[in-house]
Amino acid sequence: MIIQSLVRRYEDIGSVSPGWQRREVSYALDISGNGVLLGVVPLEFHDGKNMRKREFILPVEPPGRTSGIKSAFLCDNGGYLLGADPKRGAEKFQASRELHLRALEKTGTVEAAAIKAYFEMGAPADWIKLISFGTAAAAKFVFQVNGRFICYETDSIRAAWDFYYAQSDSDEHEKIRCLVTGKLDSPVPTHGALKLRGGQSSGSSLISANCESFTSYGKTVKDRAADIGKYAAFAYVTALNDLLKSENNRQFIGGDTLVYWSEDGGGLEEEVFSWTSQPKESDADRLSALMERAASGRKVQIEGCKPDSKFYLLCLSPNSGRISIRFFYADHFGAILAHNLRHYSNLELYKAGNDRFQFLPPWLLLSETTVKKSASDAAPLLGGQLMHSIISGDPYPLTLYHSILARIRAGEDITKTKAAIIKAFLIRNFNEGEVVTMMLNTQTDDRPYALGQLFSVLEQLQTRAAKGKLNSTIRGRFFTRACSNPGNVFPILLKLSNHHSSSASLDDKNRIFFEKLKTEILRKIPKELGFPSTLTLEEQGKFILGYYHQTQDFFTSKKDREE
């Protein structure tokens, strides 16, 4: 299903012809019509603050180049095109020479003659005067003849490579029925490399067999990894590399990479998914408009988008061997968009004036689970699990909930993001519908929620009584125990509150206000039941949400509260 969808993506977009790929190049070898190396032309350029390499459509790089000698056509590193390798430079240059002479054997144009003459003359001895040894060994080079780059745009060279690529497996007698296309095709023992963030610099494979211990049915690592034909292997690798390069088709979630695409190459659906799934500050207004339409029961429509279009999402993670697939999900675009909006509705809390994000992006949720507040430090599987739950409407991963509770128990502040995560969990995972409001719910009699309110009131009473001259409040010493074992803590806190309430530094107005508030909340905790000895994980979430709501209510104006 994954490979078939990627092959279909390649056929819908048709970015490059079979046997070609987009490659980034740092330098050009400027050669004369007689094959003499005239100079080395830098191709890197400034793009803002960054240096970027120039991109060409060039013949595909041979797969599996981590070991052995495998030359590439027209574009390669200095080890192959200049012999710039202290150990195997002569072998690499000879391999490149044989490939180019064989592929251009029947091509007699000026460009082909210049390249053949260059290799016939042997590796140039004075190239070190033009470029440093270390740079030449690692950088990619392309040929330039008479000021013209030799690449896909050179008709004669393109025709020569197309013929060579098509005939490269003609001596193979074996043909297989491709599992993807269903047609007879030549098998591919090694598939192309994918450039995935965090993966190997040389590229990683999605399908491969790289360890003898994984052998079965008598096969070894020398055999093909899967019965996938040459065309399908090229198509899915090309499509996936294009998706990984496009900012409108990929997102980073912790250490994982999410790529997504719409059937028939629907670029607008992909753009809309980008800003609805990872909203920036500038996206708040248009996302709010969609949320309002959804909340009012109206159909969410975006001009130009096709809600019935099939939409695909593939989450990938690198490791030392091959690429791991976190999940693959396919559904209609309209359904995925609806799940996204429902997720933001679950998270929605009253927006304070200093909030940076009105809609909390997934990376911000992940960062709250870590000590350093960096999404890249989140649990390895959590990013993919969270994203899958958002787009599918499935329950959120419990790891996220447990991690937030752990950070709160460790003494961290209960931020809007933490409270929003707890609220979303109570709605989706625990089917809670009473206390999950945007602001303080004064009408509910839910006991854990009321206990959270009560703790906030007692903390504020202590702060007002001390006129803010406190190094720490009851929160630092008692919050964790009050959240899990309230029966052991609240009797102590209520006695302390009587002392705070009788403090000479507290005026009568504040004293009456807090005593009245305490009494109203305590009415919601029946005397015959008393304070519970323990709270479940769900009840702890209600406690924390009650505490957050009550604390925010102390700093919310009457006008905002009424609105």
Instruction: Indicate whether 187 belongs to any domain.
Output: no
| pLDDT confidence band for 64 (50 / 70 / 90) | confident
Please say whether the beta carbons of 21 and 58 come within 8 A: yes
Please say whether the beta carbons of 144 and 41 come within 8 A: yes
Single residue among 149, 172, 195 that ends a domain in this structure? 172
Task: Tell me the per-residue pLDDT of 403-428, one tens digit each, with 9 for 90 and over.
Answer: 999 999 999 999 999 999 999 999 99
Q: Please tell me the predicted confidence (pLDDT) of residue 354.
A: 65
Please say whether the beta carbons of 385 and 399 come within 8 A: yes
| pLDDT confidence band for 221 (50 / 70 / 90) | low
For a pLDDT cut of 70, what percent of the chain falls above it? 94
Single residue among 140, 172, 204 that ends a domain in this structure? 172
Print the domain residue range for 468: 362-562
d(CA 359, CA 190): 44
Instruction: Indicate whether 127 belongs to any domain.
Output: yes
Q: CA separation (Å) from 345 to 291, 423, 425, 436, 539?
A: 8, 10, 12, 11, 21
| CA within 13 Å, CB half, 178 | 21
527-539 burial string, b = 16+ CB within 10 Å, else e? eeeebbeebeebb
Instruction: Indicate whether 64 belongs to any domain.
Output: yes
Instruction: Indicate whether 120 belongs to any domain.
Output: yes
Number of structural domains found in the chain:
2
- Partners of 141 in the β-ladder: 27, 76
Instruction: Indicate whether 299 belongs to any domain.
Output: no
Q: Is the pLDDT of residue 508 over 90?
A: no
Residue-level length of the chain: 563
Single residue among 120, 155, 172 that ends a domain in this structure? 172
Q: Please tell me the predicted confidence (pLDDT) of residue 267.
A: 81
Instruction: Indicate whether 292 belongs to any domain.
Output: no
Instruction: Indicate whether 41 belongs to any domain.
Output: yes
Task: Tell me the per-residue pLDDT of 269-312, one tens digit each, with 9 for 90 and over.
Answer: 999 999 999 998 888 889 998 888 888 777 787 888 888 999 99
Instruction: Indicate whether 298 belongs to any domain.
Output: no
Q: Which residues contact 42 (CB under 8 A, 6 or more apart)?
A: 26, 27
d(CA 425, CA 383): 16
pTM (predicted TM-score): 0.87
Q: Average pLDDT of the chain?
A: 89
